[in-house]
Chain A
Amino acid sequence: MTAETDTPTASSAAPAARAGRRLPAAMVAWFQAAPLALVLGAFLVLPIIMIVIVSFWGATEYSIYPAFQFDNYEFLFSSPVTYKVFFNTFKYALITWAATLLIGFTVAYFLAFHVRSLTWQIALFLLCTIPFWTSNIIRMISWIPFLGRNGIANSTLISWGVIDEPLEWLLFSDFSVILAFVHLYTLFMVVPIFNTMMRIDRSLIEASYDAGATGWQTLWHVIVPLTKPGIMIGTIFVITLVMGDFITVRFMSGSQSANVGRLISNDIGLLQYPSAAATAVVLLVTVLLVIGILLRFVDIRKEL
């Protein structure tokens, strides 16, 4: 995210110089970048620095005190729970990513290449966004009565004769957690992929067909490489959202599974802020590493 915000700094010098002001061009550039830099500094960088600082503090049962100690990290890295929970977080992120990518790509492909008129494209695209007019939490919680033991899904399946006993794993399981994630975050995949697909030059696809490629070959060798930046942006959205989530996991697993977000929220509930901060720092570093690796595959700035 910070990478995108840096760009105006470089390109804003020229017009000021042309205006013939006395200020040197470099100064003007600095001034122009200052408001955004200040806002980001105050509301993004400072809080993160604060979190890092607090992660070295100590805590009693009801207060925290400044210190420089590695206790929080030591406990975090020595506990088998941490590894289990991080593994769980990655598992959720990976499965959700695969599912949202598959659905998101299909939906975007349909919108971009099968729907011919722009009016219909816009209309159908807006249709996709309608569920997002309601709150995140409502959309998630409404799954609970649907998937429950006596819920709509189970009673329908029983009345169709597909099953005799209600399926227990539908709710309060990893299945329901991932289902909710996919439902919540697929749009974040659809939007960027659709956006890049719309920019693909249609003559490239015609050329591919003219050269004798099948539909699959065109998809794989022409469309997928050209939609990579969109896929990557969608991936970053989905991965960061899933890795930072705690409320979906809590509600949809019936508090029975944990991811890193829940570990942090439990610590906060017990007033163990330094330990929560340490976990947050480790999570932040992990997510940044993941994004760093992802950006190795596609240079988003170059491709956009």
Chain B
Amino acid sequence: MTTISKVRYSRRSLLKTGGAALAASALPAPMVWGQETKNITLRQFGTGVSNLNEVGQKVKEELGFTLEMTALDSDSVTQRAATQPDSFDIADIEYWICKKVWPTGNLQAMDTSKIANYDKIVGIFKDGKLTPESEIAQGTAPHTVGFVPEQGATSFADEPTQWMTLIPTIYNADTLGIRPDLIGRPINNWSELLNPEFKGKASILDISSIGIMDMAMVCESMGEIQYGDKGNMTREEIDATFAIFTEAKQNGQFRAFWKTFDESVNLMASGEVVIQSMWSPAITAVKSRGIPCVYQPLEEGYRSWGGGIGLSKSLSGMELDAAYEYINWYLSGWVGGFLMRQGYYSAVPETSKEHMSENEWGYWFEGKEATGEITSPFGDVLAQAGETRDGGSFYDRMGSVACWNAVMDENQYMVRKWNEFISS
């Protein structure tokens, strides 16, 4: 599909510059379209996870244009997408951020007919169902904010339409990380985080929007609170959740709270903490130091998150074409393979398969035993032959998502309560 759009550039460029090109025929004629795309720069910003320099380099190699990437934390990403539409071309944001930002009208919907691999995108991002039997999880499930009825609409459509808000890029299912060697017994429930057995050895992340979801999973698992919707709690539910956690904090349940990826790795690797909320690559980082660490699947299911790329409303003309070209390339497999070899999932897994070895595909996606060493794209050994991925296959993991990262109506109230919890 890349050639099609390049031909389009060439035709347009020829019309524009045809006369001049003829007049200057003495000059050795360069590939006009090639020159023009080279001058295009797309500015992408987003959270750290998928803003990878490797992707930028590959784009330059394969598509010819420049992708400038800026990594920010999720609060700043939200602010920028909401208030400065002219400062970016492509926003790499999470779905819950999309829910906040889309109503501002700063992003434009994408025409799915221009997305070559649209039909292969997994169901989670279309009708919300991974398989026809799947139940839809609580929170801001991607499909609920994935489509709009028409270009320019500021409210979301209830079912898939021709206009997509974000093209899904990367997603995963999060759970608790544990040190099996220091715990020495099976862990099967979220409620174990507050088990007095781990007094002074537990941790939770100090990022309110995600931490509150982990808290909710724990409280529900303890049987203390039944939530209407964990992704959109009432004030009473928020108060009850914090009451339980404040009590646990004052009893010394927590060793520390972490805010950055590195902190979570160090807490776990040093043995300060034996059970905590964690992100998938952090588990990998602990393991690569030779320390046993398990991303423990739990009965209540996972807390999941997903990101996608959206287009600024100010994109048009050749830049818009380049952006579509970039999206099509993103879904065509190389990036997917690159991300899946780190433990994330790609929105179009089948195209990624071609960019992974059979062993890698079996380990990461199908949950099979590794037949040889599994290495990350950066060369670190992550698993030996005979090991399997924690949680099993793609369908086992993404099939048991209990809730999605979300933004609540009572968000500001929750944030204030969070601040109180930290200082209590």
Contacts and interface: CB of A to CB of B under 8 A. Distances in A.
Interface in A258-287: 258, 262-263, 266, 269-271
Interface string A51-69: 0000000000111000000
A62 B83 contact: yes
Interface residues of B, number: 31
Interface in A127-183: 144-145, 148-151, 168, 171-172
A81 B419 contact: yes
Do most interface residues of chain B lie in helix, strand or loop, or is the interface mixed? helix
A238 B77 CA distance: 37
A258 to B, nearest CB: 4
B100 A256 contact: no
A258 B79 contact: no
A204 B140 CA distance: 77
Contact of B73 (A144, A171, A269): A269
B256 A270 contact: no
A149 B200 CA distance: 10
A257 interface: yes
B82 A255 contact: no
Do most interface residues of chain A lie in helix, strand or loop, or is the interface mixed? loop
A254 B423 contact: no
B423 A61 contact: no
A149 B266 CA distance: 12
Interface string B80-123: 00110000000000000000100000000000000000000000
Contacts of B420: 79, 81
A84 B419 CA distance: 12
A85 interface: yes
A63 B100 CA distance: 13
Contact of A84 (B254, B415, B423): B423
B12 interface: no
A149 B75 CA distance: 34
Given A63-B83, A149-B272, A172 B255 contact: yes
Contacts of A258: 422-423
A255 B412 contact: no
Given A63-B83, A256-B256, A266 B75 contact: no
B198 interface: no
A168 B199 CA distance: 11
B259 A61 contact: no
B221 interface: no
B419 A254 contact: no
Contacts of A144: 266
7 contacts: A61-B78, A81-B420, A149-B271, A254-B203, A254-B257, A255-B259, A258-B423
Given A172-B256, A253-B256, A257-B423, 19 more contacts: A62-B83, A62-B100, A63-B83, A79-B420, A81-B419, A84-B424, A145-B270, A168-B200, A250-B259, A254-B254, A254-B256, A255-B422, A256-B256, A258-B423, A263-B419, A266-B422, A270-B208, A270-B415, A271-B78
Interface of B: 73, 75-76, 78-79, 82-83, 100, 200, 203, 206, 208, 249, 254-259, 266, 270-272, 411-412, 415, 419-420, 422-424
